[in-house]
Amino acid sequence: MAFPKHSARIRLHCYPKSSIIVLKSKMFKRFIFGLIFILCCDRSFGQSDDLTYHWKSVNGLKIFYRTAGNPQRPAIVLLHGFPSSSMMYQGLIELLKKDFYLVAPDYPAHGYSEVPPADYAFTFDHISNTVHALLDQLGIQHYSLFMQDYGSPVGFRLAVKYPERIDALIIQNGNAYMEGFPEAQNPNGELQQYWRDKNKKYESNWIDYYRKASLVPAEQRKLPLGVNPDRRTMDAEIMLKPGRLELFMQLWFDYGNNVKSYPQWHNYLKKYQPPVLITWGKDDTFFTVPGALAYLKDVPKAEIHLLNGGHWAATETNTTEIAELIRSFFKREVTSRDNGQLAGR
């Protein structure tokens, strides 16, 4: 291997000129070969924590995901809400990438993931199976779940099916109790009726509402200064694609099966007592504070933090606070419990 002549000397710019180190060509070659040997033998040496972006074929479906951090660190799988994508976790991932291995997928038909074919039943069961298959392909056998909104029914299905894989649950405005779901509490209410008979008028009104909301330009949304408009713009672009709102309506109809599954999720929590951290936007009018407090019925040791913000604001405007809470929680309740042996693989 030949080196250019100027590579026979290395200048260390942190020292004065008199400290310039000159290496003979042969010595320099030995130095380079030794460095290559170290890099090959130690996988963790030089491991980048940078956030990267990927697509992977999962049972023939192209699934997009973001990842950051060293796979040898504790893994956190971040499950997004509706109508969003893994983009909602971009800031949180940047803050946690030095301490964890983070994987945030886009569900089918969300974000950059592919729309599933007609024979793929668009339900929470199928979405959770797709996420599980992705994690298997990535070799992630043990992980914690960060669940927000739709992320809860996806995540709880994973936890119920594979309890041995779950290290902890981080829940941010992700409901699992009727106490926190005012719109669904009335058995004769519009939502419960829709879940029973798939009322077309309710469905049409829902689609019209989200179509109009998606057409509002970013500069007219009056978002708080700390909220990145990119996510809202991307959400709107996805929802306005032909047939996408009708597809999402299938998932909202299937949400009735989540409510029916609440007792199963409670049994999981009661039986396994996983470490639970709850970071809840207390001004959320859709999933309300009683839903956060209800977790204490089944996991009395759950740690609950009620944050200033609404359904989305806890992720959008309290990102730094949530990151600090997660790091502190893991040191006290997760990593120390397992003597630091948790790893993403």
Active site residues: 311
C-alpha dihedral (253, 116, 87, 315), degrees to nearest 10: 20
Residue where the block lists tokens 């700390």: 226
Question: For 60-64, which contacts have Cβ atoms below 8 Å and span 24 or more sequence positions?
Answer: 61/108, 61/113, 61/114, 61/116, 61/117, 61/120, 61/130, 62/113, 62/114, 63/105, 63/106, 63/108, 63/113, 63/114, 63/130, 63/134, 64/105, 64/106, 64/111, 64/112, 64/113
* Length in residues, the chain: 345
Return d(Cα 27, Cα 7) in angstroms, integer: 11
Token pair for residue 2? 């030949």
Report which of 148, 182, 168 is spatially closest to residue 74, judged by C-alpha positions.
168
Cα 262–263–266 angle (5° rounding)? 90
The amino acid at residue 69 is: G
Return d(Cα 34, Cα 40) in angstroms, integer: 10
